[in-house]
Structure 1
């Protein structure tokens, strides 16, 4: 499987560590990860802060990836929903810390989330 990143020079430069598009060539497994929130394993408890919720969501993502014999390096796309624009910078820092040098297609949307305690929700696509 080949993964090709597309950042045409006719577009603005990608910022905050993402790529404009990701192409997957060849016979690949695709893993679509539903939007994850910051619930603890009990499905009731949730950290109060943005940072704690984000760290827990990234832990959930890594757990799901591992269940499919994948890692962060298999991620090709992220969609993040923020409950408030003030979480944009902390989200960008968290994503950079979690991805390291790995780059993915990414979209961030600010909207009202289903539950008032949710600070963010992240869905992802991985290929392997």
Structure 2
């Protein structure tokens, strides 16, 4: 088994003991993407609205997938953490924008997130 870390330079800096994604290679290549949030590239600032954070997170996700030679169609599992259930409809609209008819397994969890500014966190698994 070969593990490759994916921490693209144009994303915010990774935390301690964290990678934005880990790719497992063999006959099939799996990419496990850590929970992403809406930080700008400086790793400190983030947009205030759910919609802006969601757009930024999906862009981060696309950047990570691209770094592994994958795209959104390679996603096999998604886990969404919403800071409030009222964000569900906006979350689904953004999901549909990026995935179209592609339908990976997914879970939505509503909970208090680590930083009160976070409205959304997305964790993903992709395979190729």
Same fold flag (TM > 0.5): yes
User: Counterpart of 2:48?
Assistant: 48
User: Counterpart of 1:32?
Assistant: 32
User: Counterpart of 2:107?
Assistant: 107
**2:45 is paired with a residue of what secondary structure?**
coil
Runs of 4+ in 1 over 6 A off after TM superposition: none
1:58-111 Cα shifts (integer Å, max 9, x gaps): 000000000000000100000000000100111011111110111100000000
Unaligned runs of 5+ residues in structure 2 are 1-25
Distance in structure 2 (CA, Å) of the matches to 1:39 and 1:29: 27
Distance in structure 1 (CA, Å) of the matches to 2:61 and 2:78: 11
User: Counterpart of 1:122?
Assistant: 122
Give me the CA root mean square deviation. Answer: 1.0
Residues 52-71 of structure 1 correspond to what in structure 2 (within 5 A)? 52-71=52-71
User: Counterpart of 1:75?
Assistant: 75
Distance in structure 1 (CA, Å) of the matches to 2:93 and 2:71: 20
Distance in structure 1 (CA, Å) of the matches to 2:51 and 2:98: 12
User: Counterpart of 1:6?
Assistant: none
Distance in structure 2 (CA, Å) of the matches to 1:45 and 1:117: 10
**2:121 is paired with a residue of what secondary structure?**
strand
Distance in structure 1 (CA, Å) of the matches to 2:116 and 2:100: 30
Distance in structure 1 (CA, Å) of the matches to 2:88 and 2:103: 18
**2:51 is paired with a residue of what secondary structure?**
helix
Q: Which has the higher contact order (CA 8 A, sep 6+)?
A: 1
Unaligned runs of 5+ residues in structure 1 are 1-25
